[in-house]
Amino acid sequence: MIRLFRRHRPTEIEPMQEIDAPVPEEASWPFIQESPVLKDAPQSGHAVSIMLVNMCGLDWEDIERLLPVARQGANKQKMVPVLVVDLADVVPLRNAGLAYDMLPNIPANATLLPDLDWNAYAARRRALLIEKWRPEAIVHLGSDRNW
C-alpha cells in the first residue's frame, strides 16, 4: 500500500525541468549534499521527497531481498527511500547505503516492560517518525502494518 501526502496544491501545473546540477544544500535536507543516499535522487534542484519504507517484522535476509524493490519504487516516484526497521543490528543497513530509522521490536521488548502499553508506545514512535521525515509516501513491505 502506498500513501501519498501532499504538502501544497499548486494553482498551475508546470512541467518539471530536469537539470544535471547537484542537489543544492537547502534542498538536500535532511541529508548532506555528499550523502550516498542521494546518489539515485532526482537532480531537479527541488527539495528531496522522502518515501518511508516500512520493513518492520522482517529479518535481514528478507530485507536484503526487498532492497531493490524499495530503491526502484522510490526512484520511480522520484523519492529517496528511508527504511524503517525493528532490527537491533543496523550494520548491514549502513553497509547497504540507504537511509534508515528504527522502531522498537515489540515482541522482543514486551517481556522487558510488561506493564507498558506497547501499542500506544509504537503508535507514538510512528507519529514521531512521520513528523521527523515528513514523507511524501509510506510503503509497507514488512509484516507489521499498524501505521
Residues of the chain scoring pLDDT < 50:
5-21, 23
Q: How far apart are CA 10 and CA 7, in angstroms?
A: 10
pLDDT of residue 145: 73
Task: Supply 9's cell numbers.
Answer: 496544491
Model pLDDT, residue 102: 94
Phi-psi region of 24 (alpha: psi -120 to 50; beta: other; left: phi over 0): beta
For residue 6, the model assigns a pLDDT of 44
So what's the pLDDT on residue 94?
86
Whole-model pTM above 0.75? no
Give the distance, in angstroms, between the CA of residue 121 and the centroid of all CA atoms in the same chain. 20
pLDDT of residue 32: 65
Residue type, 106: I
For 3, residues 6+ apart whose C-beta sits below 8 A from its C-beta are: 137, 138
Dig out the grid coordinates for 129 from the structure. 517518525
Instruction: Show Cβ contacts of residue 131 under 8 Å, excluding neighbours closer than 6 positions.
Output: none
Domain locations along the chain: 28-140
pLDDT at 14: 44
Please state, in angstroms and rounded to a whole number, the distance separating the CA atoms of residues 54 and 46: 25
Report pLDDT for 115: 95
Residue 38 has a pLDDT of 67
Q: 7-32 pLDDT, tens per residue? A: 444 444 444 444 444 545 555 556 66
